[in-house]
Each structure stands twice: as structure tokens, then as C-alpha cells.
């Protein structure tokens, strides 16, 4: 998606005296982005909300950016063509970067099917601050669950360009966390959240 508004060259970055380190010290945690990716129906939103709740109970400040929710506001002008999906993720990446800079654990829950778009978001953050969580659930499992009825519509030809059906999903090659189904069953939300919390603790994002 390209803008018809001319880009201004007369802009300058303005630094403020309170920086990221100051905000992190105040919150007693380190800002980062937990990027949850996977097919529709793989459990992304469920994991995001469960993780947000778990961090909250531990006294840690987090915020969830959910794909459907952002399409009600920030990205309501975008469709699902490849260029719109790329712009959708670009905007989310920039917002997530701001949340991380504020010292929060930003939990982003998006199908984000294209590798290049996820890697562009990773490149916005400092080394180690972008934590890609791949919900590696099979298409068969996700389609059987079909919580929103979207697979049924896609199979009937009522939705075009649906990820996993007639549009590709490119799985991560080097994600920080991979969560797989077990004997055809998705792990419980609490088990998945605990796996992510453990990673955050081990990497020092939840430091006192």
C-alpha cells in the first residue's frame, strides 16, 4: 500500500531526558516484543491473553496487540491482499516497538504469514528483544477447531486469499520459541504461557 502524500524531508528526531532505561528501571522489567505467529485457529489470541494475565499476576506490565482488534481501528482501512497484509504488519511492528521502548512486554498476536514481514519487525528492535513464538499447529488441527468458522467459508470459496487454504503461510526458520501440538492436540493455554514466561525469566526481561 503506497501513500499519495509526499514524504517530508524536514523532520528531526527529538530526544527526551527520560529514556528507555529509566522507564525499565521504574517498571523493574525490560521492554520486548513477544510476536506470536501461526495459522488461524492455532491458539494465538488465547495464548496472548493467557500470557498477558500471567504477567499481570506477577506484577509485570504487558499489553496485547491482537490482529482482529487492530483491524477495528488502526488498520481498519486495510484488506487482505498481500500489500495490505504487509502494511498491516509494518504498522503493528512500529507500534510494538513503541511499547517495548516504553518498557512493556508487548504481546503481538498475528497470523503474519510472510517471513519477510516478520523479519522487518524484528529488525526494528535491539538484538534479543524480538521473541518470535511459532504456534506450530497443523492445518488439520486448526481447520477442525475453526473457532470463527473461517475455514468453512474459505473451503466454500466465500473467502479468498485465506492463509493455509489458497494463500501461503511461511513458517519461521529461526524462532525463539516453537510450541507444537501433542498427539494432535494443542497444549493448554497455561502450559503455553508458562513456556513463554520461563523464556522471559531466563533472558532477564522480568528482572527485579
Alpha-carbon distance of 80 to 82, in angstroms, equals: 6
- Residues β-bridged to residue 151: none
CB atoms within 10 A of CB 159: 15
Which residues are paired to 64 by β-bridges?
A: 107
**Annotated catalytic residue 112:** yes
CB-facing half-sphere around the CA of 111: CA atoms within 13 A: 19
How far apart, in whole angstroms, are the C-alpha atoms of residue 132 and residue 136? 12
CA distance between the termini of the chain: 43
Candidate list 40, 45, 112, 129, residue with the active-site label: 112
Residues annotated as catalytic are 112
Amino acid at each position: 500500500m503506497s501513500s499519495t502524500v509526499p514524504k517530508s524531508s524536514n523532520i528531526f528526531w527529538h530526544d527526551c531526558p527520560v529514556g528507555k532505561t529509566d522507564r525499565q528501571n521504574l517498571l523493574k522489567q525490560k521492554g520486548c516484543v513477544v510476536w506470536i505467529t501461526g495459522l488461524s485457529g492455532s491458539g494465538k489470541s488465547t495464548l496472548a491473553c493467557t500470557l498477558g494475565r500471567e504477567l499481570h499476576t506477577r506484577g509485570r506490565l504487558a499489553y496485547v496487540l491482537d490482529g482482529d482488534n487492530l483491524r477495528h481501528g488502526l488498520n481498519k482501512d486495510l484488506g487482505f491482499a498481500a500489500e495490505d497484509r504487509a502494511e498491516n504488519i509494518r504498522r503493528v511492528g512500529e507500534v510494538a516497538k513503541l511499547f517495548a521502548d516504553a518498557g512493556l512486554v508487548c504481546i503481538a498476536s498475528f497470523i503474519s504469514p510472510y517471513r519477510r514481514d516478520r523479519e522487518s519487525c524484528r529488525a526494528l528492535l535491539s538484538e534479543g528483544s524480538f521473541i518470535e513464538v511459532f504456534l506450530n499447529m497443523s492445518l488439520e488441527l486448526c481447520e477442525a477447531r475453526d473457532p470463527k468458522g473461517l475455514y468453512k467459508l474459505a473451503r466454500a470459496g466465500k473467502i479468498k486469499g485465506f492463509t493455509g487454504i489458497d494463500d501461503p503461510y511461511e513458517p519461521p526458520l529461526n524462532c525463539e520459541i516453537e510450541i507444537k501440538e501433542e498427539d494432535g492436540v494443542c497444549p493448554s493455554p497455561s502450559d503455553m504461557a508458562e513456556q513463554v514466561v520461563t523464556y522471559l525469566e531466563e533472558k532477564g526481561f522480568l528482572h527485579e
